[in-house]
Amino acid sequence: MTSGEGKGSSSRTSKSWRIAFVLALILLCAVLALIVVLLIRSGFFKFGTAITDTQYKALWTFLASALGAAVTLIGLTLTSSHNARTLALQSDLENRKSIAANDAENRQKLQAAVEGLQLISTSAGGYAVSAQVAGSLATLVHLGHPVIAMRALRAAWFDGPVDVDTAVWLINEVLVKGSRESQFEASTLLCEHAADLCDDRGGHEGEFSWPSLLYSKWPVSPARVCRFEILFAVVRVVISKAKDWWGFQYDWSLALLDEAIEKDPDPVLQNCARHLLEPLAKSYAAGYNLRSEIKLPWGDETKDLSAIENRTLDHQKVERITKKTQDLVEELNRWCNYSASDSSTGKAL
């Protein structure tokens, strides 16, 4: 039984005893009133005459009834008081047990977190093998320590023992079921390492690592600042490589930004997504004769490129957007105008 349930049960029982006490008191008053009426009608209060046998009987009946009612009332009072104290002690004991159980659980989780962090390093002070580091960070996430996992991931990702796929998987887990604080940590990491998500190996053009959640939905439960970090991460990933490197493989970014426009509850973020989507949509399959027939994959469905382009135009001329969005729009415009002849370095401007 939880402390809330114990308090509720104790309160209901105490209320029942109070009701019983009030009913007994009402019954006692009714009995006494009836006896007084009978005494008056029997002439008991006529002090000028001698007391008859009938009056003696009425008197003793009155005293016996009053005494019995008083004993009953006293018994109910003592019983109610005893039960109230017993219930209070039981409730206090249950609360103490619940607190002790929570403390023990928290200590176990903290101990598990400490042990998980210890597994990341070796006795020599360096990092353990990448598989062990990845497993330790995943364990921290599932044990309810996503913030610690993200802080550790930040350092491990920078130092090198965590591969990109593992880092992105951990970020996805936190975005799906982490706390709001940990989701901010995860989205910030995603944006900071956006340029590291693409596969630099030859023959792997257009391949990159990305949270699986963001292939099928735009998250609306994380905090606003977290959603903005995800929005900027989308663009950062795309412009980290030249258009020739992507080919047609950045279609996911158009679908995700379009979903942000449709689903995000914040109007400023919607406006920012629309401004970022507009140059991406114009640049996608530019010059292709059948653009109106292009369908972009989105989860188990598809989105029409023509419908996405129409939504980018469906806004007022003056909209409130962030300074960071303005800067990214300028970078996107340069990226869109970047030709293959300028790509000798293999990087976008």
4-54 per-position pLDDT tens digit? 555 555 566 556 666 766 776 776 777 677 667 666 666 656 655 665 666
Band (344; pLDDT cuts 50, 70, 90): very low
Residue 148 has pLDDT above 80, yes or no: yes
Instruction: List pLDDT tens digits, range 271-287.
Output: 999 999 999 998 898 87
Query: Which burial class, exposed, middle or buried, applies to 101 when counting CB atoms under 10 A from its CB (0-12, 13-18, 19+)?
Result: exposed
Is 220 exposed, middle or buried, given 0-12, 13-18 or 19+ CB atoms closer than 10 A?
Answer: exposed
> Which phi and psi angles does 90 have, rounded to 5°?
-65, -45
Mean pLDDT of the chain: 79
Condensed to tens digits (0 to 9), the pLDDT of residues 221-230 reads 999 999 999 9
Averaged over 186-190, what is the pLDDT? 95
Given pLDDT bands bounded at 50, 70 and 90, which one contains residue 341?
very low
Q: What whole-number percentage of the chain has pLDDT above 70?
A: 66
Burial of 264 (0-12, 13-18, 19+ CB in 10 A): buried
Q: Would the pTM of this model clear 0.95, i.e. be above it? A: no
At 79 the pLDDT is 74
- Residues 127-140: what's their mean pLDDT? 72
Contact yes or no for 321/267 (Cβ under 8 A): no
Contacts of 280 (CB under 8 A, 6+ apart): 235, 238, 250, 253, 254, 257, 332, 336
Contacts with 206 (C-beta within 8 Å, 6 or more apart), sequence order = 245, 246, 247, 248, 249, 250
pLDDT at 132 (0 to 100): 73
Exposed/middle/buried for 185, CB within 10 Å: 0-12, 13-18, 19+? buried
pLDDT at 129 > cutoff 70: no
281-304 in b/e form (b: 16+ CB < 10 A) is bebbeeeeeeeeebebebeeeebe
CB-based contacts of 193: which residues, under 8 Å, 6+ apart?
157, 164, 167
HSE of 323 in the Cβ direction (CA atoms, 13 Å)? 0
When pLDDT is averaged across residues 116-140 and rounded to a whole number, the result is 66
